[in-house]
Amino acid sequence: MKMEDTYQHKGLRRKLIDELRSKGISNIEVLEAINRVPRHVFMESGFVHFAYKDQAFPIGSGQTISQPYTVAFQTQLLDIKKMDKVLEVGTGSGYQCAVLLEMGANVYTIERQRELFMKAQPTLSKLGYKPNFFFGDGYEGIPAYGPFDKIIVTAGGSEIPQKLLNQLKPQGKLVMPVGGTDSQKMTLVEKINDQEYRTTEHGSFIFVPFLKGRIY
Ligand code: SAH
In a domain, 216, yes or no: no
CA of 209 to the centre of ligand 1 (A): 8
Calculate helix-pair angle for 68-78, 7-22, nearest 10 degrees.
60
* Atom of ligand 1 at shortest range from CA of 210: 19
> How does DSSP classify residue 212?
S
Taking the CA of residue 64 as reference, the ligand 1 atom at the shortest distance is 5
Tell whether 2 is covered by a domain. Answer: no
Q: How many domains does the chain have?
A: 1
- 3-class DSSP state of 197: strand
Residue numbers of the domain that contains 195: 54-205
Catalytic residue among 22, 66, 93, 204: 66
Say whether 158 is catalytic.
no
Residue nearest to ligand 1 atom 14, measured at CA:
90
User: What are the b/e assignments for 63-80, b being 16+ CB within 10 Å?
Assistant: bbbbbbbbbbbbbbbbbb
CATH code of the domain covering residue 97: 3.40.50.150
In the chain, which residues have pLDDT < 50?
Answer: none
* Helix (H), strand (E), coil (C) string for 166-181: HCEEEEEEEEEEEECC
Q: Is residue 111 part of a domain?
A: yes
* Residue 166 lies inside a defined structural domain of this protein: yes
Instruction: State the distance from the centre of ligand 1 to the C-alpha of 3, rounded, in angstroms.
Output: 23
Structural domain includes residue 5: no
* pTM assigned to the model: 0.98
In a domain, 10, yes or no: no
pLDDT at 49 (0 to 100)? 83
Distance (angstroms) between ligand 1 centre and the Cα of 212 equals: 11
Alpha helices in the chain (DSSP H): 7-22, 28-36, 68-78, 95-102, 114-126, 162-166
Residue at 14 is within a domain: no
- Please answer whether residues 88 and 152 qualify as being in contact, where contact means their C-beta atoms are separated by less than 8 angstroms: yes
Please tell me if the CB atom of residue 90 comes closer than 6 angstroms to any atom of ligand 1: yes
Q: Is 162 strand, coil or helix? A: helix
Query: Is-contact 209 178, C-beta < 8 A?
Result: no
Measure 156 CA to ligand 1 centroid, in angstroms: 9
* 63 falls within a domain: yes
Find all residues with CB under 8 Å of 67, minimum gap 6, and list them. Answer: 54, 55, 56
pLDDT of amino acid 55: 96
| Closest C-alpha residue for ligand 1 atom 10 | 90
- For residue 47, the model assigns a pLDDT of 83
pLDDT of residue 1: 52
In short, whether 215's Cβ falls inside 6 Å of ligand 1 is: no
